[in-house]
Amino acid sequence: MAWGEQVVVETKNMTMVLDVEQGKHPQYVYFGSKLNAEELAHLQKPVEGRMDAYPAYGLNTPAEAAFAMRHADGNLSSALYADGVSRNGDVTTIRLKDPVYPITVNLKYKAYRDVDMIEAWSEVTNGEKQTVTLTTFASAMLPIRRGDVWMSHLYGSWANEGRLVEEPLHAGQRVIVNKDGTRNSHTSHAEVMFSLDGKARENSGQVIGAALCYSGNYRLKVNTDDTEYHYFFAGINEDNSEYHLKKGETFVTPALALTFSNEGLSGASRNFHKWGRNYKLMHGNVERKILLNSWEGVYFDINQQGMDQMMADIASMGGELFVMDDGWFGDKYPRKTDNSSLGDWTVDKNKLPDGIEGLLRDAKKNGVKFGIWLEPEMTNTVSELYEKHPDWIIKAPKRDAVLGRGGTQLVLDLSNPKVQNFIFSIVDNLLTKYPEIDYIKWDANMAIMNHGSQYLNMADQSHLYIAYHRGFDAVCKRIRAKYPDITIQACASGGGRANWGILPYFDEFWVSDNTDALQRIYMQWGTSYFFPAIAMASHISATPNHTVFRTTSLKYRIDVAMSGRLGMEIQPKNMTDAEKELCRKAIAEYKQIRPIVQFGDIYRLVSPYDKKGLASMMYVTEAKDKAVFYWWKTESFQNEHLPRVHMAGLDATKMYRVKELNRIDVEPLAIEGKLFSGAYLMNHGLDVPYRNNTEWNARTDWSSRVLLLEAQ
């Protein structure tokens, strides 16, 4: 077979190869482990597959397409042929042109050489004399050779986000879509992993990971037909979102981040985490503060004295930040429940007579930083904002608005520049007046329930979903340009905004409104496939848990929360002296391991989804001189038999001293203070007692261990 130009996009450990011949469709040739020059010179071309890098609709209509459009004259067919390759730093561009119509598509590939990630996206430019209509506009397509290929992805619901499902790929289609409009990771996620050699394993096997870096509606699709390949498409969900591209306008799709690992799922996760911390996540290399949030303590019952008490409490625990949640605002309509006041971001002086000034004064007095809750994209029918600007809400033309939370909530129309300015002003006014505010919890508690914009013209109503997130992106850019140092958490009815589209502007996300420790093991396990611990807010809560009403031991809740960004929902004023001391000790020990957890390499060891009675994982420093090992029981039976856990990621030649953290046993473990080689810990593992050996009246069925390993 004749070759055109061999286009190589590579990182430290992986290579992507495309064959680009002038006047023909660019072809995928290879994506996998790093190839050397000799291997590249003798590379075999794929057979029995459709390897077009960006298949267009119209001239092979039975095949799935990444791109489809309606030309200005009504023609539904497109042909995209190579018209040159250029390189600018780490970005490779393959230029495609239609030989009949002046439509240009640039395929972009950005290589992050040090973290083994390639971002792929497309840019469509309309050179026709009139507006054209884009009906399908994937970011990228990747062919995956058939065999024993499995797909791992995340699904869930409110209070049950980030659940893992693993399934083999068969003939037909597997489609994952989001249509929420504002949030996109409650019921599914825009990230997947493909195991190329059977059901995925954590620390061995070939895995492709993919994450769409987008905050809006998406569509991930795997099409398997009668050829030798699965075809993976990812991009914006085009349902009811056809885009009218004006003359001279360029449409840019969100990036699809792609990685490859020979070290299993955890290996792919490590690539995502390093890429995320180094290049995407806001302040990805800055340690996160330990905080107390007011929500589970008092809900809407905010008052000055109570906030001061909580600040003193978290300070006494060794914490560093207090966050006042919902319920602090509203003048004409005070925020007492969830059915009023959104948009009226003025302090309720009945609850907080000394205002924000008083809260900042008390924070300084107590030696902690102060954070505040906002929901800037929303309003209520019961609000001064809605009374002044009913034209600012998302509403179907000629129909009544569909109401959300509390029977009154509405979504503001971020396609409208006036709304964008208003949302920016909420944050700008607050931080200009009170620059000491350290943290914002940014919530979004409603989907777009009715399709319609009062700002967009009637011909462009299909732009709503895309325009909303362009507006959201524009607001976030303005905020970060002026306030680069503030910490912002993405909360969206819990974990509705865990995606790499927003995290360049946010420091972390709230994994779930469900803080039950057992369920959090499952949710945080799945979430860790694509997101690092530093971004996953994980709090110690009271029991019975406020969502599932389960009662677990305090140590168990601490040990789970310490595997993410540690915080507290439980109120110290409601704890016994012994419970306070355990939390105080845990916070002090978390500060010791914080760099390992937040910046270390993840190794997942035993999955809770495998139903072996336990879950286990660990973080290891890049230098492999320190590690934190977690072991949680997920069920409890008499005469049970659990597997011994083999560790991973250590230096086989180093000797590691073991120290248990958060110890509640009356006697130290037999392994306490002992030295073990990395080889022994990885090949053999340590025997861990199945139950915490506490005083008789303190025993529970919820046992867990956290071990610190330090090389000597």
CA-wise closest residue to 467 among 519, 423, 420:
420
Over residues 187-215, the pLDDT tens digits come to: 999 999 999 999 999 999 999 999 999 99
Residue 164's region, left for phi above 0, alpha for psi from -120 to 50, else beta, is beta
Residue 1: which pLDDT band, with cuts at 50, 70 and 90? very low
pLDDT at 477 over 90: yes
Cis preceding-peptide flag for 668 (omega within 30 of 0): no
Dist. CA 499–CA 480, nearest whole Å: 18
Mean pLDDT for all residues in the chain: 97
Per-residue pLDDT at 2: 61
* Predicted TM-score (pTM) of this structure: 0.98
Cα distance from N-terminal residue to C-terminal residue, the chain: 57
Residue 153 burial by CB count (10 A; 0-12/13-18/19+): exposed, middle or buried?
A: buried
Question: Looking at residues 226-234, what average pLDDT do you find?
Answer: 98
- Alpha helices in 546-576, H assignment, sequence order: 554-561
DSSP state, residue 313:
H
Residue 318's region, left for phi above 0, alpha for psi from -120 to 50, else beta, is left
Antiparallel, parallel or unpaired: β 291-293 and 321-324: parallel
Per-residue pLDDT at 420: 98
Q: Which two tokens stand for residue 246?
A: 């004006």
Task: Tell me the CA distances in angstroms from 502 to 111, 122, 318, one per residue in order.
Answer: 20, 19, 31
Per-residue pLDDT at 326: 98
Helix (H, G, I), strand (E, B) or coil at 562: coil
Question: Looking at residues 59-65, what average pLDDT do you find?
Answer: 96
CA-wise closest residue to 271 among 319, 362, 209, 202:
209
Q: For tokens 């994450």, what's the residue?
A: 211
Rounded to 5°, the CA angle 388-393-399 comes to: 110
Per-residue pLDDT at 4: 87
Q: Rounded to 10 degrees, what is the CA torsion of 297, 303, 304, 307?
A: 10
Over residues 389-447, the pLDDT tens digits come to: 999 999 999 999 999 999 999 999 999 999 999 999 999 999 999 999 999 999 999 99
What are the residues whose beta carbons fall under 8 Å from the beta carbon of 369, sequence distance 6 or more? 289, 320, 321, 322, 363, 438, 439
CA-wise closest residue to 496 among 34, 183, 267:
183
Q: For tokens 């398997």, what's the residue?
A: 224
Per-residue pLDDT at 284: 98
User: Contact at 8 Å (CB) between 705 and 642?
Assistant: no
Buried b (16+ CB within 10 A) or exposed e, 370-392: bbbbbbbbbbbbbbbbbeebeeb
Over residues 272-283, the pLDDT tens digits come to: 999 999 999 999
Element spanning 596, H or E: helix 577-599
Tell me which residues are annotated as active site: 443, 513
Question: Looking at residues 207-230, what average pLDDT do you find?
Answer: 98
3-state DSSP of 354-387? CHHHHHHHHHHHHCCEEEEEECCCEEECCCHHHH
User: Contact at 8 Å (CB) between 503 and 282?
Assistant: yes
Residue 10 burial by CB count (10 A; 0-12/13-18/19+): exposed, middle or buried?
A: middle
Element spanning 605, H or E: strand 601-606
pLDDT at 256 over 60: yes
Percent of the chain's residues with pLDDT above 90: 99
Question: Looking at residues 285-314, what average pLDDT do you find?
Answer: 97
Rounded to 5°, the CA angle 445-451-455 comes to: 95
Rg (the chain; Cα; Å): 26
pLDDT at 28 over 50: yes
CA-wise closest residue to 459 among 191, 133, 701:
133
Question: Which amino acid is it at 453?
Answer: S
User: Contact at 8 Å (CB) between 214 and 254?
Assistant: yes
User: Contact at 8 Å (CB) between 324 and 430?
Assistant: no
Question: Looking at residues 218-232, what average pLDDT do you find?
Answer: 98
Dist. CA 702–CA 408, nearest whole Å: 41
Dist. CA 507–CA 472, nearest whole Å: 16
Over residues 582-639, the pLDDT tens digits come to: 999 999 999 999 999 999 999 999 999 999 999 999 999 999 999 999 999 999 999 9
pLDDT at 356 over 80: yes
Q: Which two tokens stand for residue 648?
A: 């991973």
C-alpha neighbours within 13 Å on the C-beta side of residue 315: 15
Dist. CA 397–CA 409, nearest whole Å: 18
Helix (H, G, I), strand (E, B) or coil at 635: coil
* Count of positions (residues) in the chain: 712
Dist. CA 25–CA 200, nearest whole Å: 33
Per-residue pLDDT at 3: 72
